[in-house]
Every structure is written in structure tokens, then in C-alpha cells.
């Protein structure tokens, strides 16, 4: 049986209201509730969240059982928790920074952070009451960034997906938060982390590499125990609902009335929650300019503006509300006539039927946030235009602008552009409206909310399978015996051995990691058996390998495969180019000049910047900067950047250990093959090994290898065993 699905968000999809000590619940119509409605109603699935109001202790049991019948589970929060975790940390620290509203006057209160941690733990406790290993847990939004790791600690194998509904800011903004590393570590408890746009994914992965020094390969972050995938899943809406609503008799009635009220007048619609990120004041300013500069629109155009009350106890929101009041008053006082006001402003929420009628009648939707994760209103307007008319003006700062490319896209800071777009929309010929709207509707209908839920859940499953396929087993005594047993029966054997971290431990001095007597002894014994072929495959330069192992009858592969010594002479891979080093060397030099203890290692086809002797913290900081800088300047040069253990290496893209292994194995008959390595360049070796090989990763259990060992000492012990074998009895 497959497990259940547990959805977790700050708010439950119902509103609990108190009246004379009695509580009642009504369902909420948010986009998320609609999209996930079909999910949490099913079987044992459940949705966990705060019921939206403080509930006295003696009523909590009753509410819990009421909600239980709806597949809902409450997390009860006190007023203090709400004000510190939700209003304080979530809405006064995370929301502004994530929407690019970092203020130099931001106060980062320790108590807000402590409550944020405490409440995330409270959510974790409720989740853990019902979660079981085979379940899928889908966590939503910025109030619960720490939750994935809190659940992971207790249920290491459970599937956890996370979706962020707001933008993820660029690293330069994100780094301002005092607890930035803790937030990322919290999120990385998930297996799949979803965002609305590719930019958000990039910002997030960049923050991870800059702050946590994890390995990143495109959108996959490798942790010691797991890999985590970050991906864009642009959220959709229930477009059928909006198309149907627009045709319902109730809405038709509203439409009729609106048409009568605005006979001969074009309406420009604006709908948002009260929030500074929505660009409401800038929109009013643009509309005012249009009125001022186009007298022909007087008495002919109306801005119908709905602002839904939200967070208005927070001082900034209160200020914004007052400012909107003033601006609207000002515009109306300047331009109104006896029968006409340019701005119809409502500070309240409306039933969805009225919203639908407004969407269906407005000639123009003016949606110009300064920043918005997605913006569902823009999609709802499109879905409601069943006659394929109407014009959408959309800010390029809204996530939805990446999909709704047939809208009139504007930069909300550019007043001239906004004015022009409003004029263009009001004057747009019907044919152009239709051309654009047909394409917009196709997009909104294809990528609807059901599609969004399905692809997220499918991907979560895939990530889990990918992790399983990379999960390696410890080389136990039983496994060791089994390996020795196979070995003893074979006669054409090959050993691929990585050097640093595999055969020797990690040494702060690169030159001190030379082989010791014990290692020489182990290798001598291995090659003493004529049935064994031993290959040392390392990222080290060939001069060093020659110095250390030149006298041994073994194959040496240096510089990740750029050089090979197969039959006594060193040869380089054909057709490699090293001219790129001329431009990259100076970049590395600027970093080593400014980072005491760091140095550059030059190999024939690669350059490495080592920071093993740099003060802890500084080395990591510079390495992050350097890797980003290099990614930027090497983009089109056919180079790869490999962050390793205290080293950043740049080399030709063609060079990799896997290719060297594959080339060597070609035409080679074998009955026993073994490969051991510790870093991610060895993953290429593992992947290139023939089926049935013994592949062993050192120091981590997430790898393409079949098995893992903890350190080089265990590797030596295993290798010693091959040559001290007592014949194994069947
Ligand atoms: C966050 C992110 C992201 C509005 N007025 C009324 C009303 N609404 C409904 C709309 C729409 C929803 O509220 C607003 O959604 P948005 O996406 O536009 O914005 P946020 O609330 O800020 O949502 C955002 C979203 O999460 C999803 O991931 O797109 O970027 O900020 O559905 O229809 N509904 C009713 N009456 C109203 O007066 N019934």
C-alpha cells in the first residue's frame, strides 16, 4: 500500500470563526485550497495548519474532532506565537527580504527568530503524530522553512516536498538575514523544493553553494545522505472554474448590472491584497498621468480598484493604506465630474461571483506588482475572458509574466512605459486583443492547478527513486566475505583506486599526503599477484604520481584522465586545448593574492585553487565567490568547474575519470572489477564501470557506487584482505 499525503501550510483551507463562544468553520476559496482540494479530501490524506484564530484550551479538543471529519488537523497557536512567528518573523523579516524590500533599518529580533523555530517545531510535532515512513509530505511557503529538516530528523526516509509561493531573492538580499544558513539547512530537509520560476531556483541554489558549500550539479544539490532537487513548477489556477463562473446565471446578472453602470466607459481593473509588493501606489501614479495627459479619457475610463484587507495591524501596511486613500482622493478630486469619478476604490473583499463579473467585464486588467511570486489574479482574468477579448497589462516582476508572454509586459518602475501600456490597451483593436487572448488562454488552461499538483507529486516520487538508486550499502563483514569469495575464483581482475581521501587521509599540506610504508606494502601485495591489474586514478598531476608510483608495475591515470601511463610512458589525451589557462590563471591569482594560505596548482589541462591552509570561514567564503565568478566567465569556453575538498578546479570539459576508465576497459576481458573513490569526480568512474563491478564510495552513502566505507583506513583494510586470503571454503 502506498502511504498517505500530508499537506502542511501555515493556514488550513478553512476559516474558523468565533461567535458568542461558539466556533464554526467555512471553507476558504484560495487557489491552493482549490488545487489541493482533490488531494486532501481523499482517503487517509490530511491537511495540517493553523485554524486562523486563537482557540481557547478547553475548546481545542472539540475543534480538533470537528476538523478531523474534514481530513484537517489543527496546529493551535497562541496570540504571542502569532505575533512573533507570523507577524514578526514571517511578515516583517522574510516577506520584505524575499520581495526585495530590504531596509537598512530592518531590525532582526532574536525573539522573533526563537518563536519562528518554536512554532516550526510545533508544526513538526503535529506532523509527526500522523506521519509514517511511506508517506508523502508536502509543505507550503515561507512560514515553514525549517519544517522539512525537523521532520527529516525523525523520519529520515520519508518523502518531503516543499513549495515556496513567494520569490526566492538573489543571494545579495538573502545573505542579509542573520539566520540564513539555518533557513537553508531547514529547507534542505526536503527532497524536492519547488519555486514558481527558474530565476527563483537559481537564486536558491546559488545561496546554497555560497552559504553551505554543498555540491551542486545543475539543479541537484548533493548532501552526504541524500540529493535534493530544486525545480520550477509555475503554479496554475482552476481555469475551468473561472470559465464556468463567467457563464453562470448569477454572474451574468452581475455582468449586466456592471455594463449598465459603466455604459460607454472602459474599465481598468486592479485587484490585490493590501501589500507594498503589489505596486498599488505606482499604479495609481501611472493612472493619474494617463488622466492628466489624455483629456479624451475623462468621463470615458474608470480604474476599478479592489484592495483586499491584509496585515493592516503592521505599521507599514497601515501607512500604505493611508497613502492609497490619499492618492485616490487626490486623483478623484483633480479629475472627477458630476457624473463620473476616475477611480472606484474598494478596501474590502468580495464574493467570488462579483470578482468573476469584474474579470469578465473589465476591458483592461492592470496588474503591476513590484515583485510577486506568481500572481494568480492575472491568470484568473485570462481564464474569465471566454469571449477572447480584453487586455492584460502585466508587470515583468510577477512570476506569471514568464508564461503570459502575450500580455503587455511592463516594468512597474518605468512610468512612461506604464502610461504607454495603459493607452495601448485602451486603444487596442479587437483583432489584436483576440490574437493575444487566445494564446494567453491556451497557456492558462494547459498549465492549470491540477497539472501543477500532478507534476509536483510525480517529480517527488522520481526524486525519491533517484535517491534510492544512489543509496549505497556499507561494506559489512558479510559483504566483504562475499567480495573476497568472488575474487578468489577469478583470474582477470582490475582495481581502480583513487588516491587522496581514498588511499590516504586528507592532509592540510598537499605534499605531505605522500604514500606511507603501509600503503606501499598494500599495493605491492596487490600487484604481486599477476592476475591483478591495479590502476591509480587521481586528480593529481602526472609528475607527482610518477614520483610516488613510477617504479610500480601499475597503470597511472593523472589529472582526472588527461594523462595516462599505460605501458611505461606518459601520454596525454589527444586534442586537448590549454589556451584557456591564459585568461583563467589571472583570475585565480587575484584570489590567491588576497587570500593568505591559498595557492594555485597548475596542471597541463587544469588549474586548481587550493584553500586547505586558509583560515576556516575565509577559505569557504572566497571559494564560493570564485566558483560563481568562474561559472560566469567560463560559460562558453568548454570548461568545467569542480568544487572539491578545499579546492576549486577548472579543466577542459572533455576530461573526466569516467571517460578514462571507459577507454581503458575497451576490449579488455575481465572477471573481477573494483573501483574505490571519495569525491564526486569518482562518481564518473563508478558510472563507467562494467555491470557486476564492486564500486565503493568513501565517506558518504549517497553515490552511484554500490557500497560505501567510512575512511581510507577501512579501504586499506579491505585491500589488505585480498592478499591475505585464506582459501575460502564453499
Ligand atoms: C501568494 C504570492 C502567488 C483577491 N481578492 C479577492 C479574492 N482574491 C483572490 C484572488 C487570488 C488570490 O486572492 C490572490 O492571489 P495572488 O497570487 O494574486 O497573490 P497572494 O495572495 O499574494 O499569493 C503570489 C500565490 O501566493 C500562489 O502561489 O501567486 O505571488 O504572493 O486567487 O482571486 N478572492 C475573493 N474575494 C476577493 O475580494 N473571493
453 occurs within a structural domain: no
Q: Is 212 in the pocket of ligand 1 (CB under 6 A)?
A: no
Q: What share of the chain is helix, strand, coil (3-state, %, to 5)?
A: 45, 20, 35
pLDDT tens, position by position, 92-106: 999 999 999 987 667
Q: Is 394 in the pocket of ligand 1 (CB under 6 A)?
A: no
Closest ligand 1 atom to the C-alpha of 398?
30
Q: Which helix (H) or strand (E) holds 451?
A: helix 449-470
467 occurs within a structural domain: no
In angstroms, what is the span from residue 61 Cα to ligand 1's centroid?
31
In angstroms, what is the span from residue 319 Cα to ligand 1's centroid?
21
Of 567 and 174, the structure prediction assigns the larger pLDDT to 174
Is 512 found in the same domain as 569? yes
The protein residue with its alpha carbon nearest to ligand 1, atom 36, reads 350
Query: Domain total for the chain?
Result: 4
468 occurs within a structural domain: no
In angstroms, what is the span from residue 308 Cα to ligand 1's centroid?
9
Cα–Cα distance for residue pair 414/433, rounded to 1 Å: 23
Predicted local distance difference test score (pLDDT) of residue 253: 96
Of 302 and 475, the structure prediction assigns the larger pLDDT to 302
Backbone dihedral angles phi then psi of residue 545, each to the nearest 5 degrees: -65, -40
Q: Is 29 in the pocket of ligand 1 (CB under 6 A)?
A: yes
Reply yes or no on whether the pLDDT at 469 is more than 90. no
457 occurs within a structural domain: no
In angstroms, what is the span from residue 608 Cα to ligand 1's centroid?
49
Cα–Cα distance for residue pair 193/188, rounded to 1 Å: 8
**263: domain CATH number?**
3.40.50.2000
Ligand 1 site-directed mutation target among 374, 382, 394, 399, most atoms within 8 Å of CB: 374
In angstroms, what is the span from residue 313 Cα to ligand 1's centroid?
19
Active site positions, annotated: 498
Q: Is 374 in the pocket of ligand 1 (CB under 6 A)?
A: yes
Is 148 found in the same domain as 45? yes
Is 658 found in the same domain as 647? no
565 occurs within a structural domain: yes
466 occurs within a structural domain: no
pLDDT tens, position by position, 104-125: 667 799 999 999 999 999 999 9
DSSP result, 370-406: SSBSS-HHHHHHHHH-TTS--EEEEETTBGGGGT-TT
Closest to 467 (Cα-Cα) out of 675, 211, 688, 156: 156
Average pLDDT of 336-364?
96
The mean pLDDT of the chain is 92
460 occurs within a structural domain: no
The C-alpha cell of 219 is what?
Answer: 539543479
Predicted local distance difference test score (pLDDT) of residue 726: 55
Is 312 found in the same domain as 366? yes
pLDDT tens, position by position, 370-383: 999 999 999 999 99
Average pLDDT of 715-722?
95
Of 683 and 700, the structure prediction assigns the larger pLDDT to 683
Predicted local distance difference test score (pLDDT) of residue 390: 98
Cα–Cα distance for residue pair 517/511, rounded to 1 Å: 16
Is 646 found in the same domain as 666? no
Burial class, 667, CB count within 10 angstroms (exposed 0-12 / middle 13-18 / buried 19+):
exposed
Q: Is 273 in the pocket of ligand 1 (CB under 6 A)?
A: yes
Predicted local distance difference test score (pLDDT) of residue 337: 96
Residues 6+ apart with CB under 8 A from 636: none
In angstroms, what is the span from residue 355 Cα to ligand 1's centroid?
12
**Number of other residues whose CB lies within 10 A of the CB of residue 348:** 8
Is 256 found in the same domain as 114? no
Note the pTM of the prediction, 2 decimals: 0.82
Q: Is 364 in the pocket of ligand 1 (CB under 6 A)?
A: no
Q: Which range of residues forms the domain containing residue 129?
A: 5-232
Is 527 found in the same domain as 483? yes
Is 638 found in the same domain as 659? no
The protein residue with its alpha carbon nearest to ligand 1, atom 30, reads 373
Q: How confident is the model at residue 730 (pLDDT cuts 50, 70, 90)?
A: very low
Share of the chain above pLDDT 70, in %: 98
pLDDT tens, position by position, 497-519: 999 999 999 776 777 789 999 99
Domain boundary among 592, 618, 652: 652
**510: domain CATH number?**
3.40.50.1000
Domain boundary among 652, 678, 698: 652
Predicted local distance difference test score (pLDDT) of residue 169: 97
Is 299 found in the same domain as 385? yes
Is 156 found in the same domain as 202? yes
**646: domain CATH number?**
3.30.70.1020
Is 56 found in the same domain as 15? yes
Predicted local distance difference test score (pLDDT) of residue 29: 61
Domain boundary among 637, 652, 667: 652
Is 138 found in the same domain as 34? yes
The C-alpha cell of 296 is what?
Answer: 479624451
Predicted local distance difference test score (pLDDT) of residue 615: 85
Q: Is 369 in the pocket of ligand 1 (CB under 6 A)?
A: no
Closest ligand 1 atom to the C-alpha of 163?
28
Predicted local distance difference test score (pLDDT) of residue 1: 52
Closest ligand 1 atom to the C-alpha of 350?
38
Share of the chain above pLDDT 90, in %: 74
Reply yes or no on whether the pLDDT at 26 is more than 90. no
132 occurs within a structural domain: yes
Q: Is 449 in the pocket of ligand 1 (CB under 6 A)?
A: no
Amino acid at each position: 500500500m502506498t502511504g498517505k499525503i500530508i499537506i502542511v501550510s501555515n493556514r488550513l483551507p478553512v476559516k474558523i470563526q468565533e461567535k458568542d463562544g461558539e466556533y464554526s468553520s467555512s471553507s476558504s476559496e484560495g487557489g491552493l485550497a482549490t488545487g489541493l482540494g482533490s488531494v486532501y479530501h481523499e482517503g487517509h490524506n490530511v491537511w495540517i495548519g493553523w485554524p486562523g484564530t486563537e482557540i481557547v484550551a478547553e475548546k481545542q479538543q472539540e475543534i480538533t474532532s470537528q476538523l478531523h471529519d474534514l481530513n484537517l488537523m489543527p496546529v493551535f497557536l497562541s496570540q504571542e506565537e502569532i505575533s512573533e512567528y507570523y507577524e514578526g518573523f514571517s511578515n516583517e523579516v522574510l516577506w520584505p527580504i524575499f520581495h526585495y524590500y530590504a531596509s537598512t533599518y530592518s531590525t532582526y529580533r532574536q525573539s522573533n527568530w526563537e518563536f519562528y523555530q518554536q512554532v516550526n517545531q510545533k508544526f513538526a510535532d503535529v506532523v509527526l503524530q500522523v506521519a509514517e515512513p511511506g508517506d508523502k509530505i508536502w509543505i507550503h511557503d515561507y512560514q515553514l522553512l525549517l519544517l522539512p529538516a525537523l521532520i527529516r530528523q525523525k523520519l529520515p526516509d520519508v518523502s518531503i516536498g516543499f513549495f515556496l509561493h513567494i520569490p526566492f531573492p538573489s543571494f545579495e538580499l538573502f545573505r542579509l538575514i542573520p539566520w540564513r544558513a539555518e533557513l537553508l539547512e531547514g529547507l534542505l530537509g526536503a527532497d524536492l523544493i519547488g519555486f514558481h520560476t527558474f530565476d527563483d531556483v537559481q537564486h536558491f541554489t546559488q545561496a546554497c553553494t555560497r552559504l553551505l558549500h554543498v555540491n551542486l550539479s545543475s539543479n541537484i544539490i548533493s548532501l552526504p545522505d541524500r540529493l535534493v532537487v530544486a525545480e520550477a513548477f509555475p503554479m496554475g489556477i482552476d481555469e475551468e472554474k473561472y470559465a464556468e463562473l463567467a457563464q453562470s446565471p448569477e454572474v451574468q446578472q452581475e455582468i449586466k448590472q456592471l455594463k449598465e453602470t459603466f455604459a460607454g466607459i472602459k474599465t481598468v481593473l486592479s485587484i490585490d491584497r493590501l501589500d507594498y509588493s503589489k505596486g498599488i501606489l505606482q499604479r495609481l501614479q501611472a493612472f493619474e498621468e494617463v488622466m492628466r495627459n489624455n483629456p479624451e479619457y475623462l468621463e470615458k475610463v474608470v480604474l476599478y480598484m479592489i484592495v483586499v484587507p491584509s496585515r493592516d495591524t503592521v505599521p507599514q501596511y497601515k501607512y500604505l493604506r493611508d497613502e492609497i486613500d490619499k492618492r485616490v482622493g487626490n486623483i478623484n478630486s483633480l479629475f472627477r465630474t458630476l457624473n463620473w469619478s476616475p477611480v472606484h476604490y474598494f478596501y474590502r473583499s468580495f464574493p467570488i461571483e462579483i470578482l468573476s463579473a469584474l474579470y469578465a467585464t473589465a476591458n483592461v486588467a492592470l496588474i503591476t506588482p513590484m515583485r510577486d511570486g506568481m500572481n494568480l489574479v492575472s491568470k484568473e482574468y485570462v481564464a474569465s475572458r471566454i469571449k477572447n477579448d480584453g487586455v492584460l497589462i502585466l508587470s515583468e516582476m510577477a512570476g506569471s509574466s514568464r508564461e503570459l508572454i502575450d500580455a503587455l509586459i511592463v516594468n512597474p518602475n518605468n512610468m512612461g512605459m506604464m502610461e504607454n501600456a495603459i493607452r495601448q490597451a485602451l486603444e487596442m483593436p479587437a483583432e489584436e486583443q483576440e490574437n493575444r487572448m487566445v494564446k494567453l488562454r491556451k497557456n492558462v488552461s494547459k498549465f492549470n492547478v491540477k497539472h501543477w499538483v500532478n507534476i509536483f507529486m510525480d517529480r517527488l516520487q522520481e526524486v525519491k527513486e533517484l535517491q534510492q538508486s544512489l543509496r549505497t550499502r556499507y561494506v559489512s563483514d558479510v559483504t566483504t566475505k562475499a567480495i573476497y569469495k568472488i575474487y578468489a575464483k577469478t583470474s582477470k581482475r582490475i582495481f581502480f583506486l583513487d588516491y587522496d581521501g581514498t588511499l590516504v587521509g586528507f592532509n592540510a599540506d598537499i605534499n605531505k599526503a605522500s604514500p606511507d610504508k603501509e600503503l606501499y606494502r598494500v599495493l605491492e601485495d596487490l600487484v604481486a599477484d599477476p592476475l591483478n591489474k591495479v590502476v591509480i586514478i587521481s586528480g593529481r598531476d602526472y609528475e607527482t604520481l610518477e614520483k610516488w608510483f613510477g617504479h610500480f608495475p601499475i597503470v597511472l591515470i593523472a589529472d582526472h584522465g588527461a594523462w595516462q601511463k599505460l605501458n611505461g610512458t606518459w601520454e596525454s589525451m589527444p586534442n586537448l586545448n590549454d589556451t584557456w589557462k591564459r585568461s583563467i590563471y589571472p583570475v585565480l591569482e587575484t584570489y590567491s593574492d588576497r587570500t593568505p594560505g591559498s595557492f594555485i596548482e597548475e596542471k597541463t589541462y587544469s588549474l586548481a585553487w587550493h584553500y586547505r591552509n586558509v583560515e576556516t570561514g575565509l577559505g569557504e567564503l572566497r571559494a564560493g565567490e570564485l566558483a560563481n565568478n568562474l561559472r560566469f566567465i567560463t560559460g562558453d569556453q568548454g570548461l568545467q568547474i569542480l568544487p572539491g575538498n578545499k579546492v576549486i578546479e577548472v579543466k577542459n570539459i572533455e576530461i573526466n575519470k569516467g571517460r578514462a576508465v571507459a577507454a581503458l576497459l575497451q576490449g579488455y576481458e575481465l572477471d573481477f572489477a573494483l573501483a574505490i573513490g571519495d569525491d564526486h569526480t569518482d562518481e564518473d568512474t563508478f558510472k563507467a564501470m562494467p555491470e557486476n563491478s564492486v564500486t565503493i564510495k568513501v565517506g558518504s552513502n549517497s553515490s552511484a557506487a554500490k557500497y560505501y566505507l567510512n575512511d581510507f583506513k577501512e579501504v586499506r583494510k579491505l585491500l589488505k584482505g585480498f592478499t591475505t586470503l585464506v582459501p575460502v571454503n564453499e
